[in-house]
Structure 1
Amino acid sequence: MTPADLSRTVLRAVRRAVDEGALRAPVPARVRVERTRPGGSGDYACAVALQLAAPAALPALEVAAVLRERVAAEPGVGRVEITGPGFLSFTLDAPATGDRAVLDAVREQGLAYGHGDALREEILQFHHAREVRAAVTAHAVRRLVVAQGARVRVSCAEASDPDWARLGVTVDAHGTPPVPLTGIRPVPAGATAGELLEQLGPDAARWGLLRPAGHDRAALGPDLLVQGEANPLFRVRYAHARARALPRGAALLGFTAGHDPDGEGPYPYDGAARPLLDLIADHPGVLLAGARHRAPDRVARQLEAVAHAFFDFHDSCPPLPAGDEKPSAAHRARLALAEAAGTVLAGGLSLLGIRAPEHL
């Protein structure tokens, strides 16, 4: 069971409790679960009972007890405890199996890992000014919400700049339509699309426009083109290229990614591998939050974190054997994690409209 699966499981328990009359409260759009902090109980924790206590007019501990009863019976949940003023703490069955479930989901879903249907009931109309950062942001937000099942239409106050097409931007209509609108209003870039394309090219320009939060000014200088680890865009794309190169190297050594070869058992993802796996497991929640908050910068920051964790993992737990070392179960499992990281980086860059080359 992944964190996203657990979040949906808890949300179903809330909905069931409301439908059965055990709780009288609005069902939240989503439930956030977080990995338990050091010294805490269980694998994951959730504060939903505290959030529902006031609208339900019940003590948080009583709300937690109602939800505990309904979550504990779910497959994959080993134990549910109530801690503190009403936190729910979850211990999952077979943690190694849960880790493998995350990697299996990435392998099966590919670049669509983290996409979902949480916004399937929403029909959205975004509107922006004739300004390049607003146009690129609206385009990225469109991609994020569509990946969560929403239907979207984007309009611009005036006719589009022809250079926007070179940045991948499309607009459905011009002028202000007579329907409710959601305005996309980031701090203007201070340059035209043509100027940014000439100075930076499409990928660096889009990253520079999308990486800062909308209320912050975008840094659009030559640093975006530097091929060094101080440049977050280069670091993200280099991590992706390195992750894609590893399976090619493994093929030359005669092995592929996998688990439990020859009965050796699943490889435990601990040490430097653990932060990377946790980030991959949290990726669907980040994409959904980016869509809900119209915030592509959240996705960019997630990709930076994945890239950083990937390099830490790669250096501490090499997926390829060195020298005369023979490939082992650990190498196969590490390679599976590296491949998943590459998929997450490629999928996230794709949602931002940025290419993820396999060679840099």
Structure 2
Amino acid sequence: MTPEQLSTTLVHALTTLVERGDVTLPDGVPQAVTVERPKVREHGDYATNVALQLGKKAGMAPRDLAALLAKELESADGIGEVEIAGPGFLNIRVDAGSQGKVAADVVAAGAAYGRNDAFAGEKINLEFVSANPTGPLHIGGTRWAAVGDALGRVLEFSGAAVTREYYFNDHGAQIDRFSRSLLANARGRAVPEDGYGGDYIGEIAGQVLAQRPDAADLPDAEAQEVFREIGVNLMFDEIKQSMHDFGVDFDVYFHEDNLHKSGAVQKAIDRLTELGNVYEHDGALWLRTEQYGDDKDRVIVRSNGEPAYLSGDLAYYLDKRERGFDRCFIMLGADHHGYVARMMAMCAAFGDTPHVNLEIMIGQMVNLLSDGAPLRMSKRAGTVITLEDLVEAVGKDAARYALARYSTDSTIDIDLDLWAKASNENPVYYVQYAHARVASLLRNAADLGLSPDGADVSLLVHEKEGELLRALAELPRVVASAATLREPHRVARYLEDTAASYHRFYDNCRVLPMGDEEPNELHKARLLLVAATRTVIGNGLALLGVSAPERM
């Protein structure tokens, strides 16, 4: 019995009590009941505090409501024992046959196991990375590549229709600085003081000259435009290739420049004007953001007629909403923290709901350590550590797992020496090794002619079998929680716990017959549990964009 199935059983029990008149719930029976695994194994397989939550509403002492629920549950299919604890907690043990059925359900579902409908019907635009095409992808952007892609996978597994989008910043001062840096390099001059350094500038400048040998000899303005147009495209192609090699691809690459050329900015301003949220002052055009929670109103068109940076955000958000997205998620670095209030005010000014139609996630910094000391300089980029630096040091799988393993709220230190190790100290190796170990066992079983088909799951009564079964049953809940909280790191931590449960099971429960021993029904049941473990670990790793090796 999975937590979701037990939740349904609890809802049914409450419904029965209400219909029978034993319990009155003015707000009705909840659609779902929270079920958790108790911290102390002796307290049962699952626990719930639903009686504590509903006791006051029902006009009853929580223990009295718990007693009614316990009596109702004891006659339900799959429930072995129910115990009332403390002020009204319910500790529940499921019967062995019901618990073992989890293994059969997992194997039957295969690659679909873990899917849920928490976001069914929702159309989500997920924008992440969106690094300026002025240099290789740095380690902060790489974190968003790993986390953003994993979040997209988790949201899709939870029923959402997700469009991964990259906002291509090809308009503004940073692009001008980049093109001037390329031109200076091509002419053999020092990079401008506010320009970009690193070996890649020379590489890109050389590629521009390969396409346009005359570019450096053109008049300054014309030459800079050539280096801007060709150089930005070359740099962005490199970024896209780097992310593709990292296992991250986008559905949409949206060009900021198009917002200004297409009239989208003016369209957004017109919409906000109609809503009464724009006014003129000192020759500039202002958006009434203060009344929607920002610390002050914001300029959207300067007194010289030039659009302020926020004008592009207005047009881009409106464009997303008009493309039919219910929710717009944006992932930004820690240096954008002060930007959230004005973006939420902008959302409200359009008549939408902040933190619902628009949600902004802020990610903290990443530090790379080698020999206990932080790395500061890239071999190629000069001033920053890049995606390629990380992958070269530890490999794609370890890089993705390491970046997705932690809450984005926290700054993380990635020890390159640890993540490059082929040992159980390395978290991704530990999980992948569990999958490889399972795959090896299943191959050995096949060589012996053993199959889990028709296994009697009621035989899975060993303590370590039960622990592993409960772990496997948690995947759908973990995925739904990771999607709801926007925390794909929960999947990684779950996989590590599940791998640990498998190793303990394997060390205590012999799966294959030894010597001349004849295969029996318990071997088949345990083999089914092993196959289910393979499915769960494989599905979880896929959600993180990490491979599930058959051999290691």
TM-score, normalised on structure 2?
A: 0.57
What is aligned with 1:351? 543
For the residues of structure 1 that align with 2:28 and 2:398, how far apart are their CA atoms?
43
What does 1:205-220 correspond to in 2, within 5 Å? 205-216=399-410, 217-219=412-414
- 8 Å contact kept, 1:124–1:153: yes
- Per the alignment, residue 49 of structure 2 pairs with 47
* Residues 230 and 16 of structure 1: CA distance in aligned 2, closer, same or farther (over 3 Å): same
Aligned equivalent of 1:225: 420
SS of the equivalent of 1:101 reads helix
Q: Which residue in the other structure is 1:168 paired with?
A: 247
For 1:5-54, what per-residue CA distance to the aligned partner results, in whole angstroms no more than 9, with x for missing partners?
112333465688899993234876753223454554x6432112323446
Paired residue for 1:138? 148
What secondary structure sits across from 1:332 in the alignment?
helix
| Aligned 8 A contact 1:125 1:182 in 2 | no
Matched with 2:87 is 85
- Worse-superposed segment, 283-292 or 12-21: 12-21
SS of the residue corresponding to residue 33 of structure 1 reads coil
The corresponding residue for 2:348 is: none
**Pairwise CA distance, 1:358:** 0.9
Taking a change above 3 Å as real, the CA distance of residues 337 and 78 of structure 1, as seen in their structure-2 partners, is closer
Q: Is contact 2:52-2:89 (8 Å) kept?
A: yes
Gaps of 5+ in 1: none
Match of 1:107 in 2: 107
Structure 1 pair 168–119 and aligned structure 2 pair: CA distance change class (3 A):
same
Q: 1:189 aligns with which of 340, 345, 366?
A: 366
Give, in angstroms, the shift of residue 192 of structure 1.
2.7
Instruction: Classify the secondary structure of the residue corresponding to 1:34.
Output: coil
In structure 2, the CA distance between the partners of 1:218 and 1:339, relative to structure 1 (3 Å rule), is farther
**CA–CA distance in 1 between the matches of 2:55 and 2:156?**
33
Q: Does 1:24 align with 2:219?
A: no
Within 2, Cα distance between the matches of 1:67 and 1:289? Answer: 26
Give the alignment partner of residue 395 of structure 2, picking from 179, 184, 201.
201
Instruction: Tell me if the contact between 1:126 and 1:184 (Cα under 8 Å) persists in the aligned partners.
Output: no
Amino acid at match of 2:86: G
- Cα deviation, 1:28-84, whole Å, max 9, x if unaligned, reads 6753223454554x6432112323446667653465467668766654346656543
RMSD of aligned alpha carbons: 3.2
Q: AA paired with 2:109?
A: Q
User: Quick check: 1:239 aligned with 2:442?
Assistant: no
| Partner residue, 1:76 | 78
Letter in 2 for 1:226: K
Q: Secondary structure at the match of 1:169?
A: coil
C-alpha deviations, 1:145-196, integer Å up to 9, x for none? 2111123334445457322222222333546523532223222335332332
Residue aligned with 1:357, SS: coil
Larger Rg belongs to: 2
Which amino acid counterpart does residue 282 of structure 1 have in structure 2? E
Question: Does the CA-based 8 Å contact 1:4-1:285 persist in structure 2?
Answer: yes
What SS does structure 2 have at the residue aligned with 1:236?
Answer: helix
CA distance in structure 1 between the partners assigned to 2:68 and 2:163 by the alignment: 41
Is this contact kept in 2: 1:6–1:33, CA < 8 A?
yes
Q: Write the mapping of 1:292-311 to structure 2, written as runs, cut at 5 A.
A: 292-311=484-503
Shift of residue 244, structure 1, vs aligned partner: 1.1
2:291 corresponds to 1:291: no
Q: Is the 8 A contact 2:97 2:459 kept in 1?
A: no
Per the TM alignment, residue 320 of structure 1 is displaced from its structure 2 partner at its CA by 1.8
Q: Is the 8 A contact 2:98 2:458 kept in 1?
A: no
- Give the SS at the match of 1:219: strand
CA contact (8 A) 2:100 2:469 kept: no
Aligned residues: 354
SS, match of residue 360 in structure 2 = strand
* CA 1:58–1:118: 2 relative to 1, 3 Å: farther
Counterpart Cα distance in 2 of 1:340 and 1:318? 16
Q: In 2, distance between residues paired with 1:348 and 1:260?
A: 25
**Greater Cα shift, 331-340 or 83-92:** 83-92
How far the C-alpha of 1:239 sits from its partner, in A, is 1.0
Distance 1:15 1:127 in 2: 42
Q: Is 1:150 aligned to residue 179 of structure 2?
A: no
- AA aligned to 2:451 is T
Q: 1:60 and 1:133, CA in 2 relative to 1: closer, same or farther beyond 3 A? A: same
**323-332 or 247-256, which moves further after superposition?**
323-332
> What whole-Å deviation, never above 9, does each CA across 1:178-216 have from its counterpart, x for those lacking one?
353222322233533233233333211111111122123
Partner residue in 2 for 1:251:
446
2-structure distance, mates of 1:317, 1:72: 30
Distance 1:271 1:80 in 2: 18
Cα distance between partner residues in 2 of 1:277 and 1:312: 12
d(CA) in 1 for partners of 2:103, 2:416: 37
Show the counterpart of 1:97: 97
1:241 Cα deviation (Å)? 1.1
Question: Would you say 1:277 and 2:287 are equivalent positions?
Answer: no
* Contact kept? 1:31, 1:48, Cα under 8 Å: yes
Deviations along 1:71-127, one digit per CA (max 9) or x if unpaired, are: 6665434665654322234454xx221123101111101122121113215443434
Q: Quick check: 1:126 aligned with 2:126?
A: yes
The Cα of 1:354 is off from its aligned counterpart by 0.8
The two structures have a TM-score, normalised by structure 1, of 0.84
Q: What letter is aligned with 2:512?
A: L
Aligned partner letter, 2:364:
V
Partner deviation per Cα, 1:282-318 (whole Å, 9 max, x = no partner): 2222222112111111111111111122222222222
Instruction: Tell me: CA distance 1:50–1:121, structure 2 relative to 1, closer, same or farther (3 Å).
Output: farther
Secondary structure of the residue that 2:99 maps to in structure 1? helix
